[in-house]
Amino acid sequence: MSGDHSDIVKRLSTVSGLLLIVLVVVMLVGISIGSSGSGVTSLWHIITDPDHADPMLLTIIWKLRLPRVLLAALVGAALSLGGLVFQALLRNPLAEPYILGISGGSAIGAILGILLGLSQFPGITLTSFAGSLTTLLLIIGISAGQSILQKNALLLSGVMVNAFCSAVIMFLVSMTHDARLHNIIFWLMGDLSMGSLQHTGILAMALIPCFVIIFWFSNTMNLMLMGKEMALSMGVNIKRATVILLVTTSLMVSACVSQCGLIGLVGLVIPHLFRLMLGSDHRILFPACVLGGGAYMVACDLLARAIPQHGEMPAGVITALIGAPLFIYLLKRSGR
Amino acid sequence: MRYLLILLLIIQGTIVSLPAWAQNVHVTDLLGRRMAIPKDPVRVVSLAPNITEIVYALGQSHRLVGATTYSDYPAEADMLPKVGSYVHLDLERIVFLAPDLCLAIKDGNPIAAISRLESIGIPVYAVDPRDLESVMDTLSRIGRLLQADKQAKQLVQGMRRRIQAVESLVAKTDHRPGLFFQIGISPIVSVGTNTFIHELIVQAGARNLAEGDIPYPRFSKEQVLGMSPDVIIVTSMARKAVFEKIRQDWYQWTNLPAVKNDRIYFKDSGLFDRPSPRLVDALEILVRLIHPEMFKEPS
């Protein structure tokens, strides 16, 4: 048993170390590219010789690009973990906060918060949290008691809840002529451009405790995936673990949505990728999702900034362009 | 919660480090914020097309180093480096241009972007041009900021004179034709009471058939027919071919007073889509369309 333990620690540190390097490299590239130009070499000059660096470039890097890259990494980590947890708890490889409409629900909450004139934190985050919890309960309520069809019932009810949520969002947007909603279209597709260090710091304070809770439960998720009997016999309090994990994940997702809008399908791509590469031990998948998901999101945001010649596109466009075909592929494969 | 706030303040304290501007003046903008700006700003970024127009009108375009997309009037303004659209500003481009003053729109530019710029140490002065009166106020305010008081005064006087000329003309008649002002084609969109176009319509001596609380209300074709407008004015960025199609569309309804009297007009939207000093031009065009009888030579 102790051999198994040290083996895990070894794998955990190898995976974490490698992915940490990937994350740092992607973040450095993310920091060195922006709409005002400049490249990796000028970043190197700034790091090696900060006294003689162009002060404007310093400002751009420290106050605009760095917060944005950090925000992307955090959001990517949180959304990937969200997917990982949903897939384990609902025992459905296609479960993901965006597909299930959880993100849509928290977007409704966030818009209501904006219309009520609440502050970004804690006001809008809380209304957004309420929105995501409501949709979560709704989906579980709809699909419960249909054990044979549960897998599809869950996805279908998620799709419908999602459609309903987007309709409500468009309804709210059409009904109000509020100047505060000017940016809504960008925000709805996932926008990381307004992240300041302050916002990123606040988001980190909300997300990191959630990460710790999920890591705490990673072995429990392993046991739960082995089946109810097995989990019970190993002393897992299934109900408690499920509730804590679902609520934590909803909180995480709604914190991201209220900050950056709807960024979809990250929680599908990343956990699947790592499950293919690393197997299904959640103790390993946890750091992989945090670091790899962060790197993935930073890269997607980088593409969103770099592809258009003028301005930028919402980061959610890129994640959806990558994620949706993958979802279709997985759906087709799981049907066989 | 309190710890969060304290931490927030600490973080903020480390971020905000305003550079010392030489020869500053203190001003209060229309968001009610008091700030220090250079006495003689030489690197100004305009965050909305109508602000760009105003700076040009004041003859201060040499101070501009950047503007938002669609800053296309006067034509040379289109050559300025672009800093994103006014609802989605490209902060990095703005910082890169190293402005010593940004001019923003109170309800147009996102407040989050304004505060980000300020946290970086770039002063942002917000104005609020909404209608003729506030455009004139904006001219005076920006004139003060850019040391163009004299030009501002002249422009405002000229505008007032032309507005008064229209007003005295309109006062000569009690006739107030019903006008449907169409700014959107599909769906049909018009202008409610709380818009600058409504103000122009009323000042030009017409009734705005779409008046009401909703700023930009949508209409079905049936509703428009039901109001039987005497005059229809369509403004759009669309091209001539599209105009022709809309004209054909309305002309099917031969009972419509505007069709019967051949009073459907198409105007380039450039004049009508932003509150700029050119609103006076728009007003003069409107009054000619609404009261052509006043401009006929007495025979």
CB-CB under 8 Å, B107 with A205: no
Q: Which two tokens stand for residue A25?
A: 């490299």
Task: Give pLDDT tens digits along chain A (336 positions).
Answer: 445 778 888 988 999 999 999 999 999 999 888 877 766 667 777 777 777 777 778 888 888 889 999 999 999 999 999 999 999 888 888 888 888 889 999 999 988 888 887 776 678 888 999 999 999 888 888 777 665 446 677 778 888 888 999 899 888 887 776 656 656 777 777 888 877 888 899 899 999 999 999 999 998 998 888 888 888 888 888 888 888 998 999 999 999 988 888 898 899 889 988 988 888 899 999 999 999 999 999 999 999 888 877 767 888 889 989 888 888 887 787 665
Quick one: closest CA in A to B215, which residue?
A: A177
Which residue is it, tokens 């009037």?
Answer: B73
Give the pLDDT score at A195.
77
Give the pLDDT score at A1.
44
Domain B173-295 has CATH 3.40.50.1100: no
Q: Which CATH superfamily is A15-333 part of?
A: ABC transporter involved in vitamin B12 uptake, BtuC (1.10.3470.10)
Q: Which CATH superfamily is B15-155 part of?
A: Nitrogenase molybdenum iron protein domain (3.40.50.1980)
Q: Is the pLDDT of residue B18 over 50?
A: no
Q: What is the pTM of this model?
A: 0.80
Interface check A202 vs B, CB under 8 A: yes
Q: Out of A170-184, A190-204, B10-24, B219-233, pick the least confident.
A: B10-24
Residues in a beta bridge with B103: B46, B125
User: Domain boundaries in chain B?
Assistant: 15-155, 173-295
CA distance B96 to chain A (A): 6
Range B127-131 contact pairs with CB under 8 angstroms and sequence separation of 24 or more: B127/B29, B127/B30, B127/B51, B127/B103, B128/B30, B129/B50, B129/B51, B129/B54, B129/B105, B129/B275, B129/B276, B130/B196, B130/B275, B131/B196, B131/B199, B131/B275, B131/B279
Residue B184 per-residue DSSP state: B
Give the pLDDT score at B26.
92
Interface check A333 vs B, CB under 8 A: no
Cα dist from A113 to A107, A121, A127, A261, B107, whole Å: 10, 10, 6, 13, 19
- Cα B233–Cα B239–Cα B241 angle in degrees, nearest 5: 90
**CA B112, CA B110: separation in Å to the nearest integer?**
5
Q: What percent of chain B has pLDDT over 70?
A: 91
pLDDT band at B16 (very low <50, low <70, confident <90, very high): very low
**CA B259, CA A330: separation in Å to the nearest integer?**
59
pLDDT band at B3 (very low <50, low <70, confident <90, very high): low
User: Domain boundaries in chain A?
Assistant: 15-333
CA B54 to the chain's CA centroid: 10
Give the pLDDT score at A183.
63
- 3-state SS assignment for residue B83: coil
Interface check A5 vs B, CB under 8 A: no
Q: Please, what is the average pLDDT of chain B?
A: 87
Q: Which two tokens stand for residue A196?
A: 């300041």
pLDDT tens digits along B30-51:
988 899 999 999 999 999 999 9
Same fold across B15-155 and B173-295: yes
* Encoded amino acid at A117, one letter: G
Radius of gyration of chain A (CA): 20
CB-CB under 8 Å, B93 with A36: yes
Quick one: closest CA in A to B5, which residue?
A: A202
Interface check A151 vs B, CB under 8 A: no
Q: Is the pLDDT of residue B203 over 70?
A: yes
Q: Is the pLDDT of residue B111 over 60?
A: yes
- 3-state SS assignment for residue B191: coil
